[in-house]
Homo-oligomer: A and B are copies of this chain.
Amino acid sequence: MSENERLSNINPNELLHVISALQFKHEDLLILFELADKIRNIAETKAGLDFLRTILSHKRAVLYFAQPSTRTYLSFNNACQILGMQTSDMRIAGNSSEAKGESLEDTLETIHSYTDLLIIRHIEENLAEKAAWMYNNSDRPIPVINAGSGPNEHPTQALLDAYTLYRAFKGNIKNKTIAVIGDLKRGRTVRSLIRILNNFEYIKFIFISPIVLKIPEDVKSYLLKNNIVFEESDSLDSCIKTADVFYYTRIQDEYDMLNESKAIDYTNLYLNPEYLSKMQKNAIILHPLPRRAEIPPDIDKDKRAWYWKQEINGLWIRTALISYIFKVDGYILKYK
């Protein structure tokens, strides 16, 4: 089947599967942000956590993570657990029937046989979408959440990024200048971020990267088509004093063909005390993590460093998302 055929089979008006950041509408986001705030509030007491554990105690999830992951895996697994779901994991390709020559389609079908939710991270670009398509054509459609698919999309990362802006800016995301720094060519995070922030008004992007790692053409087309203002640069000078958000990313050298990342010098963009001294007092620094040298650990103590809060937000927004998909959000909002 073609990509278009697959996509047309996914109902854009109902959030059953989470495949692309494109799916989230402004109203979905506001519901999810409010829900995440509510859940973390409920989770402050044992009674609250015990309540949450009853919500989806009848559901089971499979976490199929064929690419290495610490934080995405842990946050999804803990999100499921908070809602009382039991999980099974498939974390090493070699540890499964793939080793016996099974097709990926058959593996997806097998997961469907035993579980109520698939959370999938895979190097293959459209596997989450393919799973959603297959499950929609079955007699028991179960939701699929894309937890990172190849170099293409990472919608729940975008969700937690947007949720972090919502919290940092007290609910008011519009009218912000967002500097995005690093490997803009291969970071799936960046593509998803732009798509999700298209829901907010007057967002301006400044893309800062070494020339060989500039944002891809498809991303630029998307920006132009949606009238999103953006600039490109290879230096921080133009925006260091004015941007509201500094979104850092690491070099994605797992997609290297010939170790080409080694030759890229990106040190002039690394966050340092001088840059820090020039930033606005209320600016925030984000990073999807893991980081390397682009943000030295010393900076963690700066009040503008929001990346660890951003990481924690991932737990709560994913918990919110799962409850939203299973339509138990109303039940949670009524608590207490």
A115 and B74 contact, CB distance less than 8 A: yes
A101 at the interface (CB under 8 A from B): yes
Interface string of A189-231 (1 = CB under 8 A from B): 0000000000000000000000000000000000000000000
Give the contact stretch, choosing among A23-31, A91-99, A238-246, A262-270: A91-99
B68 touches A57 (CB 8 A): no
A88–B87 CA distance with the chains assembled, in angstroms: 10
29 contacts across the A-B interface (CB closer than 8 A):
A46-B58, A49-B57, A49-B58, A50-B58, A60-B81, A60-B82, A68-B97, A68-B100, A70-B90, A70-B96, A70-B97, A70-B102, A70-B110, A71-B113, A74-B111, A74-B114, A75-B114, A78-B88, A78-B114, A92-B95, A100-B250, A101-B290, A101-B292, A102-B289, A102-B291, A105-B297, A106-B289, A106-B291, A113-B312
Which B residue sits closest to A140, measured CB to CB?
Answer: B312
Q: Does A274 contact B (CB under 8 A)?
A: no
Is A320 an interface position by the 8 A CB rule?
no
Total identical chains: 3
Q: How far is the CA of A82 from the CA of B74 in the complex (A)?
A: 21
Contact of A68 among B68, B96, B289 (CB under 8 A): B96
Is A62 interfacial (CB 8 A cutoff)? yes
Which chain B residue lies CB-closest to A115? B78
Closest B residue to A74 by beta carbon equals: B114
Q: How many residues of A contact B (CB 8 A)?
A: 55
Q: Taking A50-B57, A101-B292, A102-B292 as given, write out 17 further A-B residue pairs in contact, using a Cβ cutoff of 8 Å, ordered by the A residue number.
A: A60-B82, A68-B95, A69-B96, A70-B96, A70-B102, A71-B114, A74-B88, A74-B90, A74-B110, A75-B113, A75-B114, A92-B92, A100-B250, A100-B254, A103-B297, A110-B289, A114-B312
Indicate whether A315 reaches chain B with its CB closer than 8 angstroms. yes
Give the contacting residue for A97; candidates B49, B69, B75, B308; CB below 8 A.
B69
Tell me if A86 is interfacial: C-beta within 8 Å of chain B: yes
Within the complex, the shortest CB–CB distance from A161 to chain B, in Å, comes to: 15
- Interface assignment of A129: CB less than 8 Å from any CB of chain B: no
Q: Mark A residues whose CB is within 8 Å of B.
A: 46, 49-50, 53, 57-58, 60, 62, 68-71, 73-75, 77-78, 81-82, 86, 88, 90-92, 94-103, 105-107, 109-111, 113-115, 250, 254, 289-292, 297, 308, 311-312, 314-315
Chain B min CB distance to A2 (Å): 17
CB distance from A119 to the nearest CB of B (A): 13
**What's the minimum C-beta distance from A178 to chain B, rounded to whole angstroms?**
23
Q: How far is the CB of A60 from chain B (nearest CB, A)?
A: 6
- Of all chain B residues, the one with the shortest Cβ separation from A109 is B308
